[in-house]
């Protein structure tokens, strides 16, 4: 059975999981990465802000990473869904939808978040094409353009301030009565930002390009793209929660340094612990968790060697 024992199972093959697999592979660890391959960024055509990868499709980034992992025979990549993980003494037993059961000394969850967009007719067609959440990812392409900003509540004004950096030609759509302070309304008016509270009937677009925001009153506004302040993310996997890892009030997993959790041997990295880490952020956390895990194995093996020679 020891032959089948893996050092690390990695759940999720986004930038977090893939970079952890790469560094653990290069550290001679026996690793299995299991990925459902349904990332939240699959809706978008181009990713930005990741050095050497600016403007490349997120699918291509994953393909290159998987191709490069093939050089490490100690790393197996499987397309499957992890349905359950049990803790048995110090080991993790992972069960997949396709009926695989694997055992590992440690496990990394890099299972990301899933977006649940508000039910505005037409939003699904433009999200990830010309309407986005992250201005660092997609603000440059919309600089100085007439854009829509969808959102409401306490998070609205901080988001407007941010987006204002890229375009001052902003219309804010709250899709119903604005639940913001009078002072916040005053600040929007001061910056000549139109606040539209009438509910939205639909977003009209052509091939993913937002053209018009049409209100239930029949009034419409030409806009060339936009940003949405919240995509109502939820965890990609609730397995760590079932095992006892706490979630904070934003629905993110609570971790310690390097992605370690209250459950020894279970690490969480990427969007699962930071909602919107970015490609480079998730990849960096994968690197960091892998280094921590390998250094733990190295220390354990060293101690075991000392005991044997006594």
Ligand X SMILES: Cc1cc2nc3c(=O)[nH]c(=O)nc-3n(C[C@H](O)[C@H](O)[C@H](O)COP(=O)(O)OP(=O)(O)OC[C@H]3O[C@@H](n4cnc5c(N)ncnc54)[C@H](O)[C@@H]3O)c2cc1C
Q: Is 17 an interacting residue with respect to ligand X (CB under 6 A)?
A: yes
The β-bridge partners of 128 are none
CB under 8 Å, gap of 24 or more: what pairs does 155-161 form?
155/229, 155/230, 156/180, 156/184, 156/229, 157/184, 157/187, 157/188, 159/227, 159/229, 160/188, 160/193
Among 9, 23, 110, 290, binds ligand X (CB under 6 A): 110
Residue 240 CB, shortest distance to ligand X, in Å, is: 10
Which of residues 14, 122, 135, 240 is near ligand X by CB under 6 A? 14
User: Applying CB under 6 A, does 279 fall inside the site for ligand X?
Assistant: yes
**Strand pairing report for 266-268 and 101-109:** parallel
Closer by beta carbon to ligand X, 79 or else 219: 79
Of the residues 167, 230, 237, 261, which one makes contact with ligand X according to CB under 6 A: 237
Pick the stretch among 68-76, 117-125, 277-285, 295-303 that binds ligand X (CB under 6 A).
277-285
From residue 238, give the alpha-carbon distance in Å to each of 6, 78, 181, 272.
23, 20, 36, 10
Residues in the chain: 310
* Closer of 61 and 195 to ligand X (Cβ): 61
Cβ 64 to ligand X shortest distance, Å = 14
Give the shortest CB-129-to-ligand X separation in angstroms.
9
Q: Restricting to residues 31-50, which ones interact with ligand X according to CB under 6 A?
A: 34-41, 43-44, 47-50
Residues 8/105, Cβ–Cβ less than 8 Å:
yes
Q: Scanning residues 126 to 145, which ones bind ligand X (CB under 6 A)?
A: 128, 132, 134, 137
CB of residue 184 to ligand X, shortest distance in Å: 27
Residue from 27, 104, 111, 152 binding ligand X (CB under 6 A): 111
CA 149 to chain centre: 21
276 counts as binding ligand X under rule CB under 6 A: yes
For ligand X (CB under 6 A), the number of binding residues is 41
- Contacts of residue 103, defined as CB under 8 A and 6 or more positions apart, other chains included, come to 1, 4, 5, 6, 88, 91, 92, 93, 94
Name the β-bridge partners of 283. none
Q: Which of the ranges 10-18, 151-159, 167-175, 247-255 carries the binding residues for ligand X, by CB under 6 A?
A: 10-18
What are 103's two structure tokens? 């055992």
Place of tokens 């397995």: 239
Nearer to ligand X, 36 or 288 (CB): 36
CA distances from 161 to 142, 157, 168, 188, 193 (A): 15, 6, 10, 9, 11
For 259, phi then psi, to 5°, come to: 85, 5
In this complex, which beta carbon is closest to ligand X, that of residue 32 or of residue 171?
32
Query: The sheet that has 226-228: what strands, in order across it?
Result: 131-132, 226-228, 147-150, 170-173, 194-196
Q: Which helix (H) or strand (E) holds 50?
A: none
- Give the range of 67-75, 167-175, 218-226, 271-279 binding ligand X by CB under 6 A: 271-279
Q: With CB under 6 A as the contact rule, which of the stretches 156-164, 185-193, 253-261, 276-284 interacts with ligand X? A: 276-284
Binding-site ranges for ligand X (CB under 6 A): 11-17, 34-41, 43-44, 47-50, 81-82, 110-112, 115, 128, 132, 134, 137, 236-237, 270-271, 276-280, 282
């Amino acid at each position: 059975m020891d032959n089948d024992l893996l050092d690390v199972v990695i759940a999720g093959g986004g930038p977090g999981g893939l970079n952890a697999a790469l560094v653990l592979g290069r550290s001679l660890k026996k690793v299995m990465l299991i990925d459902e391959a349904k990332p939240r960024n699959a809706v978008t055509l181009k990713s930005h802000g990741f050095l050497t990868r600016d403007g490349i499709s997120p699918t291509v980034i994953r393909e290159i990473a998987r191709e490069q992992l093939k050089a490490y025979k100690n790393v197996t990549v499987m397309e499957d869904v992890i349905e359950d993980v049990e803790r048995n003494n110090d080991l993790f037993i992972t069960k997949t939808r396709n009926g695989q059961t694997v055992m590992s000394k440690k496990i990394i969850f890099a299972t990301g978040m899933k977006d649940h967009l508000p039910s505005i007719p037409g939003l699904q067609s433009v999200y990830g094409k010309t309407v986005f959440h992250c201005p660092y990812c997609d603000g440059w392409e919309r600089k100085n353009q007439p854009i829509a900003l969808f959102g409401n509540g306490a998070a609205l004004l901080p988001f407007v301030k941010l987006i204002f950096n890229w375009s001052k030609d902003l219309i804010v759509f709250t899709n119903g009565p604005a639940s913001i302070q009078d002072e916040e309304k005053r600040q929007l008016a001061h910056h000549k930002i139109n606040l539209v509270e009438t509910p939205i009937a639909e977003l009209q677009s052509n091939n993913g390009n937002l053209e018009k925001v049409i209100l239930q009153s029949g009034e419409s506004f030409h806009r060339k793209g936009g940003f949405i302040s919240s995509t109502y993310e939820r965890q990609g996997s609730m397995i760590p929660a079932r095992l006892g890892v706490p979630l904070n009030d934003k629905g993110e997993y609570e971790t310690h340094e390097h992605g370690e959790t209250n459950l020894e041997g279970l690490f969480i990295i990427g969007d699962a612990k930071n909602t919107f880490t970015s490609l480079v952020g998730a990849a960096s956390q994968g690197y960091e968790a892998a280094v921590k895990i390998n250094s733990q194995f190295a220390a354990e093996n060293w101690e075991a060697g000392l005991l044997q020679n006594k």
